[in-house]
A = this chain, B = another copy of it.
């Protein structure tokens, strides 16, 4: 994993196969309801076998999908049992969107014999086209019947839109006192990925015992350092949602520190998978700004670099054009002293104290041709740092997004 990305250390964190159902006490399913014209799976359920606490974060976009509003409302009491996801239609900006979000949730609740307030809905796909809710309602009993304790992979497949691969992570968290729990998740990207978790749907499960208020706090912390620090195209969607369900059935759970690191690791790995699968992307770039007076400064500067089209095009071209990096930082609205700034690309120092070094362009360019490129900026002031992940901007990204709905 990239230095600076995810938890500070991974002691006691052991990868497990699978995704949301790697956590004991969860079942999942993914079926074809018929919303996606392609006929691919498009309806997923993730359900806890018993009571669970819940935390939800949704998009900060002012245009917020009704599903986001409902999911927040249903998790507000810190409890939920199930997540229902439909892919292929975001159910936003249509006259019936709110009613359809209610019906999506109610259909899942009925099929699962739960109260609707125990169900968290998510929708992703095209905006402004009415959701074929009857199609989904008709398919919901099949989705419920298909629930299995190893269904995580099928659920991960059913939430994909333009994703090319499923994204699943599961980690066993242990501590020195013999504590153990599982934290697992699935995600979908892959366009509109920017601050505030754009067109990102994430379902996380754990058997750790955590009350709703603390769960929300843990989720906010982990998302802030992971999903809120990735950028695929600088656009934030109307439907982003991260939901975390916790059953508390782990018999000897680890301490809160281990759980926090585990949750951060799961989110970091899923976020990395989202960037690596960014539309048209051929490589992941980790932008680290260190030596800052405060972490917020480092994050804003790293974000300015990660969202610069010229920087991202240079990454695609394996072009160590570090002038664009300084240019992008200069637009961030954060004060720094150019004469103290050093920049390394792929470990090659290309700029020291604000001026070019006599670096070997061939070596720097070769380092940028790897699937993971690091750009390290040192402000030379303080000790705070932040890392953001982005991907290269490619002609394929543009071609793809010029042709998405037509």
Task: Point out residues on A near B: beta carbons under 8 Å.
Answer: 61-64, 90, 92-95, 126-129, 191-192, 194-195, 233-238, 307-310, 313-314, 316-319, 321-324, 326-332, 334-336, 338, 351, 354-356, 361, 365, 393-406
Contact = CB atoms under 8 A, between A and B. Distances in A.
A310 B233 contact: yes
Central interface residue in A94, A195, A394, A402, by most chain B CB within 10 Å: A402
User: Which 9 A-B residue pairs are closest in the complex by CB-CB distance?
Assistant: A127-B323, A317-B402, A395-B395, A313-B401, A61-B330, A63-B330, A62-B330, A128-B356, A128-B323
Contacts of A62: 329-332, 334-336, 338
Contacts of A309: 233-235, 309, 397-398, 401
A308 B354 CA distance: 30
A308 B326 CA distance: 22
Contact of A310 (B93, B192, B313, B393): B192
A93 B352 CA distance: 10
Contacts of A397: 309, 313, 398
A402 B319 contact: yes
26 contacts: A62-B336, A64-B330, A90-B323, A93-B354, A93-B355, A94-B356, A95-B355, A127-B326, A192-B310, A234-B308, A235-B309, A236-B330, A236-B331, A238-B330, A310-B401, A313-B401, A314-B404, A319-B404, A319-B405, A319-B406, A321-B404, A321-B405, A361-B406, A393-B398, A395-B396, A395-B398
A338 B93 contact: yes
Contact of A308 (B92, B235, B324, B365): B235
Contacts of A406: 317-319, 321, 361, 365
A327 B361 contact: no
Given A93-B354, A338-B63, A402-B316, A327 B236 contact: yes
A63 B402 CA distance: 34
A210 to B, nearest CB: 31
B398 A316 contact: yes
Contacts of A316: 398, 402
Count of this chain's copies in the oligomeric assembly: 2
Nearest to A199: B327
A397 to B, nearest CB: 7
A75 to B, nearest CB: 22
Contacts of A400: 313
Contacts of A129: 356
Contacts of A313: 397-398, 400-402
Contacts of A321: 127, 404-406
A398 B394 contact: yes
A385 to B, nearest CB: 19
Contacts of A323: 90, 92-93, 126-128, 238
Contacts of A94: 355-356
Contacts of A238: 323, 326-327, 330
A361 B126 CA distance: 15
A126 to B, nearest CB: 7
Nearest to A361: B406
A395 B361 CA distance: 25
Given A236-B330, A314-B401, 8 more contacts: A62-B336, A127-B321, A127-B324, A129-B356, A238-B326, A314-B405, A321-B406, A365-B406
